């Protein structure tokens, strides 16, 4: 007795036709999933580098806002001198105001030093010297100016940092870079200004 192939599954031709239709659909679904996953990683990476940059900026402001304008100094290669107006600097010394008396000199706390230093293997030449994908990167340090060993890191993977004053107004420019989990590099650049407190 000859069985009817229709009642016992698919014929070879039907299977081939089915596979011909299904395989491209399967590939399309998989590749769409890959694109979506990559896109999520890119979005997460962009959001993360932005959040990091804002956090570093907030840390800097927390320490710099109470700075006494008259106490600020920059190193000109020879000595510590007053910073010039509207000139960007990467290192700054200052003392914070403890209290403002009704008369006489304000009470100043211990001096601090805020500085940007290039990572080992990098030079400030607009190139990625150490091959990690970041250009002219370094860290921002804060220390008591009479105790370099007290320094702590306020931010790393910083490609650009500068501080500038115009009267009582202070400007900070900051760029951070980091890779997401797929290796794509993300950068966030932030510029902000604020008025020094109690000056
Ligand atoms: Ca580098
Ligand atoms: Ca460099």
Neighbours of 165 (CB within 10 A): 22
pLDDT of residue 31: 77
- Identify whether 137 is part of a domain: yes
3-38: pLDDT as tens digits: 555 566 778 888 888 888 888 888 887 777 777 777
CA of 36 to the centre of ligand 1 (A): 30
159-170: pLDDT as tens digits: 999 999 998 899
pLDDT band at 43 (very low <50, low <70, confident <90, very high): confident
pLDDT of residue 95: 92
Arithmetic mean of pLDDT, 74-89 = 92
Distance CA 179, CA 11 (A): 52
- Identify whether 131 is part of a domain: yes
Contact 136, 124 (CB under 8 A): yes
CA of 97 to the centre of ligand 1 (A): 38
Distance CA 144, CA 158 (A): 21
What domain range is 87 assigned to?
A: 39-195
Q: Which ligand is nearest to the CA of 122?
A: 2
Judge whether residue 103 has pLDDT over 80. Answer: no
Judge whether residue 171 has pLDDT over 90. Answer: yes
CA of 118 to the centre of ligand 1 (A): 9
- Identify whether 20 is part of a domain: no
Distance CA 131, CA 121 (A): 9
Contact 99, 107 (CB under 8 A): yes
Q: How many CA atoms lie within 13 A of 27 on its CB side?
A: 5
pLDDT of residue 21: 85
138-147: pLDDT as tens digits: 999 999 988 8
- Identify whether 157 is part of a domain: yes
Judge whether residue 153 has pLDDT over 90. Answer: yes
122-137: pLDDT as tens digits: 999 999 999 999 999 9
- Identify whether 93 is part of a domain: yes
Please count the structural domains in the chain: 1
- Identify whether 152 is part of a domain: yes
CA of 196 to the centre of ligand 2 (A): 32
Distance CA 53, CA 57 (A): 6
pLDDT band at 199 (very low <50, low <70, confident <90, very high): low
Nearest to 182 by CA among 47, 51, 40: 40
Report the mean per-residue pLDDT for the chain: 88
- Identify whether 66 is part of a domain: yes
CA of 188 to the centre of ligand 2 (A): 18
CA of 125 to the centre of ligand 1 (A): 11
- Identify whether 191 is part of a domain: yes
């Amino acid at each position: 007795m000859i069985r009817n192939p229709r009642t016992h599954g698919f014929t070879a031709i039907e299977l081939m036709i089915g596979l011909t239709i299904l395989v491209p659909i399967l590939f399309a679904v998989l590749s769409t999933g890959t694109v979506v996953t990559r896109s999520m990683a890119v979005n997460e990476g962009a959001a993360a580098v932005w959040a990091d940059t804002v956090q570093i900026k907030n840390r800097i402001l927390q320490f710099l806002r109470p700075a006494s304008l008259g106490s600020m100094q920059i190193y000109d290669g020879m000595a510590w001198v007053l910073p010039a107006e509207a000139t960007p600097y990467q290192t700054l010394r200052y003392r914070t105001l403890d209290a403002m008396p009704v008369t006489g000199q304000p009470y100043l706390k211990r001096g601090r030093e805020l500085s940007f230093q290039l990572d080992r293997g990098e030079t400030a030449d607009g190139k990625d010297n150490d091959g990690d994908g970041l250009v002219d990167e370094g860290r921002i340090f804060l220390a008591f100016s009479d105790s370099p060993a007290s320094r702590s890191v306020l931010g790393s993977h910083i490609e650009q940092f500068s501080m500038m004053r115009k009267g009582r107004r202070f400007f900070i420019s900051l760029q951070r870079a980091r890779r997401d989990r797929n290796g794509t590099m993300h950068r966030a650049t932030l510029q902000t200004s604020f008025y020094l407190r109690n000056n």
